[in-house]
A = this chain, B = another copy of it.
């Protein structure tokens, strides 16, 4: 029996909390603009306020939450320009990732991706939107890991989370997060070690997702009046 780790739970490490919040954003459990008060977060992860505060700083740095002076933390709500910039950045980063992956991916990782693409296709076929989104994000992240560049992987983690927010904000209801066929085609190109083709497919894939969205700044709300004169 464990003498340590008794029934009083120890608080999770910072990174775990960050991942949980990012995960919630990616699965669209947290909508863009949602308030994130400190007290509920403390209870949810039962930890101290200092820890939550630290986590919120990290999330802000990643562009997933926005901190407003004396008003607290909110899930980020990217405007039209930022949304387009995120997609452009993703194209740049993922292009480099597939090029690297094409030349160094191992059979195990390849099979992993294939299974993921297949499962995603199935989830989408049976209308399981949440699982489909989750698997789609996971596909891109696993691919990044297979490319073996931790710096690019880190960049992509942030971009994927922000993309989820963007899809939630600008996505029409018909939007499927990822056409899973594209993932399977990508796996095929990677299996053939055809980097150029994989890069082309990835670019088309991301462009397709962006085109399915209606990225336009919303008409100014009463709240914007505040922003105009803020500071």
Residues in chain A within 8 A of chain B (CB atoms): 54, 57-58, 61-63, 82, 85-86, 88-89, 91-93, 95-96, 100, 149-152, 155, 159
Contacts and interface: CB of A to CB of B under 8 A. Distances in A.
Contacts of A151: 63, 82, 85-86, 88-89, 159
A33 B210 CA distance: 42
A89 B149 contact: yes
A interface secondary structure, majority: helix
Contacts of A152: 85, 88-89, 92
B100 A150 contact: no
Nearest to A14: B57
A86 B155 CA distance: 11
11 contacts: A61-B62, A82-B150, A86-B151, A88-B96, A88-B149, A88-B151, A89-B96, A91-B96, A92-B92, A92-B96, A92-B152
Contacts of A96: 88-89, 91-92
Copies of chain A in the complex = 2
Nearest to A90: B151
Given A88-B151, A89-B155, 10 more contacts: A54-B57, A57-B58, A61-B62, A63-B151, A82-B150, A82-B151, A88-B96, A91-B96, A92-B92, A92-B93
Contacts of A159: 151
A148 to B, nearest CB: 8
A49 B54 CA distance: 14
Contacts of A155: 89, 155
Contacts of A91: 96
A48 to B, nearest CB: 14
A150 B82 CA distance: 8
Contact of A95 (B57, B82, B92): B92
A106 B88 CA distance: 20
A231 B89 CA distance: 36
